[in-house]
């Protein structure tokens, strides 16, 4: 897999004249060299539906008079740059206006993305219509006629649809479109049918050709969907709506699936389709380094001007990041992560006591009263906490192996099915410990604990917010009643359990006749039962603390969770693998190259700031004066050095631990230990 890729968007209306007029082979090549690009995804078909080459399966763009796709492929290949080819699969606006009956419809017959045809925008196709055969023919044509280095298909996934083709099919099966479970089965089958058709269109002609289906998100827990791809491209533009929390969560899961992974960001200030928008070169340097630190290659999104000339400022910007990537690649290929902690993703577990994985098709989930999707908030808050605590962790699903992990985190809303319970029993019997919060740890009926966490279930608290009073001290605060806004739960102390702190209730909930002050009532300062417990299997906290941290970023909540995790790691065999003194927004990962007999510690630091209304940007890369590192490692170290500088680094190794100080660095520094 190439590590320095560009995704060259080219969604171009028929209303734009002189398409590709200024394309020039030498200029195209010069820009790729300026950007240090080794792979560029070029367009066969865009969202508007037009082909950028002569076509029998489609129609060439009416304002294009030559084979632009072929010219781009030939120019790139002449300088050793690969060319995967893009086709818009889910959108084809040209065809949408000719065959609106093939579009996805909701229960009220509305289309999506755009709700109707009286506003600018695209409309998404249902793959349970004749459109699928047309798309397959378009893909086959590209594979047959062009030396493509892969196929990228966009805007696809399991989709909720009530078009008349889906309604007729479900009735033919003897069911009713009002039977949601039967409709869900159809939607799943429709996507599998699409995946099979695309696989045949590509691999019947060129076995092994890279093929990726983009849905903008790799759904955790859906290994069957991931398996339709030969590799994964994690679309995650921080300024385009994904934010800086999304990529770490996505990539820490994807790296464990056994597929090559690319991290896809963009050069834009905002998102796709922004002409003339640029982010700071330091942002791309950091985002590319973040991909490398997580075992992924890099892809940067750009959009070609309709006239076909590449933008010099863009490729100078990309080159600033890719020059560094090129220097680091040898330490970033064929790596596997080293982790102490496994975070079982709430999305992947797919059981929120009634909400199941299928509910996520339509984006529904139980909420805790503070707004938003609890499943997403649990995962987001957990990853943010683990990053800020500088822990080594993986994000896993219910099929992942638990061997080698010291602690398993169950965030907020994970029911313990009989199958999962057996796996967790084996994990704890081998010495592993569990941290569960909220309703995690309960049986699927939500009535009792399936794990020995020192707690006895009583039910949901009628109060919100409530107060936590830990029996342990927090590093930054004296003992107090700390407000928690997320849902809380009433528990008793189970036989053999130990209380690590209590809950307190407010005087009353804020209501018409019972409110005080500006927000919520204070604590009654009366013990309302245990809030934190310890049992044979691990620790439990009686609040949805991870969702709370995602939504509110509370310092007490953060430090309570860090204390619980540190307690579990300190009790584990070998303790914590890595300790560093980084700022809170610093990130650490540890990757291993078994064939080279070495490990790479990645240190990253780039604090985002908010610009405009809701845009997080990275501009400044403060220098980290020095970083003290302690790494558990029983193997004798032959050599410790900084990469890519190859500067030897002094260290001591005793009692199974390496200690060193990394001198001043900025953005990204690798420390390599060779054995």
Which residue is listed with tokens 């599998």? 192
Q: In degrees, to the nearest 5, what angle opens at C-alpha 437 toward C-alphas 433 and 442? A: 85
Please give the Cα distance from 485 to 473 (Å, whole number): 21
- Residue 361: pLDDT above 50? no
In 10 A of CB 241, how many CB atoms?
13
Structural domain ending residue among the three candidates 571, 605, 621 = 571
Residue numbers of the domain that contains 46: 4-327
User: Tens digits of per-residue pLDDT, 412-467?
Assistant: 999 999 999 999 999 999 999 999 999 999 999 999 999 999 999 999 999 999 99
Residues 438, 444, 445, 447: is their CA dihedral positive or negative?
negative
pLDDT of 367 reads: 43
**Is residue 564 in some structural domain?**
yes
The total number of structural domains that make up the chain: 3
What is the residue-averaged pLDDT of the chain? 94
Q: Please report, for residues 414, 552, 561, 564, 587, the alpha-carbon distance to residue 545 in angstroms, rounded to integers and kept in the order given.
A: 13, 10, 8, 12, 22
**Is residue 333 in some structural domain?**
no
Question: Is the same domain home to 384 and 424?
Answer: yes
Peptide linkage before 601 cis (omega within 30 of 0): no
| Region 631-638 average pLDDT | 95
| Region 313-325 average pLDDT | 98
Contact 18, 65 (CB under 8 A): no
**Is residue 602 in some structural domain?**
yes
**Is residue 565 in some structural domain?**
yes
pLDDT of 613 reads: 80
Q: Which two tokens stand for residue 414?
A: 């994970």
Question: Is the same domain home to 468 and 361?
Answer: yes
**Among residues 68, 361, 64, which one has the least CA distance to residue 222?**
361
pTM: 0.94
Which residue is listed with tokens 């953060």? 558
Question: Is the same domain home to 537 and 614?
Answer: no
**Is residue 600 in some structural domain?**
yes
pLDDT of 366 reads: 39
pLDDT of 354 reads: 53
pLDDT of 19 reads: 98
Question: Is the same domain home to 593 and 567?
Answer: no
Contact 295, 13 (CB under 8 A): no
Question: Is the same domain home to 565 and 584?
Answer: no
Question: Is the same domain home to 259 and 345?
Answer: no
Question: Is the same domain home to 305 and 363?
Answer: no
Residue 367, CA atoms < 13 Å, CB-side half-sphere: 8
Question: Is the same domain home to 413 and 496?
Answer: yes
Question: Is the same domain home to 470 and 527?
Answer: yes
- Residue 290: pLDDT above 70? yes
Question: Is the same domain home to 596 and 551?
Answer: no
Contact 41, 10 (CB under 8 A): no
- Residue 363: pLDDT above 60? no
Q: Which residue has the higher pLDDT, 522 or 370?
A: 522
User: Tens digits of per-residue pLDDT, 641-653?
Assistant: 999 999 999 999 9
pLDDT of 352 reads: 54
- How far, rounded to the nearest angstrom, does the alpha carbon of residue 242 sit from its chain's CA centroid? 9
Contact 449, 333 (CB under 8 A): no
Q: Which two tokens stand for residue 219?
A: 């759904």
Q: In degrees, to the nearest 5, what angle opens at C-alpha 499 toward C-alphas 444 and 524? A: 95
Question: Is the same domain home to 634 and 667?
Answer: yes
- Residue 480: pLDDT above 50? yes
| Region 373-396 average pLDDT | 96
Q: Maximum distance among all alpha carbons in the chain?
A: 79
Confidence tier at 615 by pLDDT (50, 70, 90):
confident
**Is residue 44 in some structural domain?**
yes
């Amino acid at each position: 897999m190439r590590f320095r890729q560009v995704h060259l968007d080219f969604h171009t209306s028929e209303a734009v004249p002189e398409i590709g007029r200024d394309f020039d082979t030498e200029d195209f090549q010069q820009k790729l060299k300026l950007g240090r690009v080794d792979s560029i995804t070029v367009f066969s078909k865009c969202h508007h539906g037009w082909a950028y080459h002569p076509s029998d399966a489609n129609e060439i763009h009416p304002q294009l008079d030559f084979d632009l796709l072929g010219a781009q492929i030939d120019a790139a290949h002449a300088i050793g740059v690969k060319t995967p080819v893009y086709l818009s699969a889910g959108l084809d606006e040209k065809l949408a206006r000719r065959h609106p009956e093939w579009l996805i419809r909701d229960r009220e017959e509305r289309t999506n993305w755009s709700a109707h045809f009286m506003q600018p925008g695209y409309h998404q196709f249902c793959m349970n219509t004749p459109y699928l055969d047309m798309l397959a023919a378009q893909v086959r044509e590209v594979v047959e006629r062009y030396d493509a280095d892969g196929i990228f298909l966009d805007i696809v996934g399991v989709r909720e649809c009530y078009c008349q083709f889906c309604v007729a099919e479900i009735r033919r099966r003897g069911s009713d479109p009002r039977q949601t479970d039967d409709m869900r089965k159809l939607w799943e089958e429709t996507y599998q049918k699409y995946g099979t058709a695309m696989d045949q269109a590509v691999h019947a002609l060129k076995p092994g050709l890279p093929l990726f289906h983009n849905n903008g998100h790799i759904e955790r827990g859906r290994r069957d969907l991931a398996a339709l791809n030969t590799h994964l491209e994690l679309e995650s533009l921080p300024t385009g709506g994904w934010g800086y929390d999304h990529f770490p969560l996505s990539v820490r899961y994807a790296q464990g699936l056994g597929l090559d992974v690319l991290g896809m960001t963009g050069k834009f200030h905002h998102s796709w389709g922004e002409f003339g928008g640029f982010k700071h070169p330091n942002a791309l340097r950091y985002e590319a380094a973040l991909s490398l630190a997580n075992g992924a290659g890099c892809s940067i999104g750009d959009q070609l001007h309709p006239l076909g000339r590449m933008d010099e400022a863009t490729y100078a910007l990309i080159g600033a990041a890719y020059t560094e990537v090129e220097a680091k690649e040898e330490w970033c290929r064929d790596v596997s992560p080293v982790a102490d902690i496994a975070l079982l993703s709430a999305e992947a577990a797919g059981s929120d006591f009634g909400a199941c994985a299928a509910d996520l098709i339509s984006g529904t989930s139980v909420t805790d009263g503070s707004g938003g999707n609890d499943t997403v908030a649990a995962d987001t808050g957990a990853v943010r906490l683990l990053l800020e605590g500088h822990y080594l962790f993986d994000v896993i699903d219910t099929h992942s192996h638990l061997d080698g992990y010291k602690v398993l985190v169950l965030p907020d809303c994970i029911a313990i099915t009989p199958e999962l319970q057996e796996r967790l029993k084996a994990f704890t019997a081998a010495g592993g410990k569990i941290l569960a919060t909220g309703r995690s740890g309960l049986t699927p009926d939500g009535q009792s604990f399936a794990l020995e966490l020192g707690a006895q279930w009583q039910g949901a608290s009628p109060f919100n917010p409530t107060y936590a009073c830990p029996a342990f001290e927090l590093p930054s605060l004296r003992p107090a009643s700390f407000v928690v806004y997320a849902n809380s739960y009433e528990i008793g102390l189970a036989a053999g359990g130990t209380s690590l702190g209590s809950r307190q209730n407010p005087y009353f909930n804020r209501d018409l006749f019972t409110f005080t002050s500006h927000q919520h009532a204070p604590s009654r300062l009366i013990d309302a039962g245990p809030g934190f417990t310890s049992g044979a299997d691990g620790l439990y906290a009686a609040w949805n603390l991870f969702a709370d941290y995602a939504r509110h970023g509370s310092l007490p909540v953060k430090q309570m969770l860090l204390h619980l995790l540190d307690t579990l790691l300190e009790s584990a065999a070998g303790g914590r693998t890595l300790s560093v003194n980084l700022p809170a927004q610093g990130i650490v990962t540890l990757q291993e190259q078994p064939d080279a007999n070495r490990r790479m510690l990645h240190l990253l630091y780039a604090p985002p700031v908010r610009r405009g209304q809701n845009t997080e940007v990275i501009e400044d890369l403060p220098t980290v004066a020095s970083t003290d590192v302690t790494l558990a490692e029983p193997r004798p170290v032959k050599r410790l050095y900084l990469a890519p500088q190859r500067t030897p680094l002094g260290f001591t190794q005793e009692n199974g631990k390496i200690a060193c100080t990394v001198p001043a660095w900025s953005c990204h520094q690798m420390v390599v230990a060779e054995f």
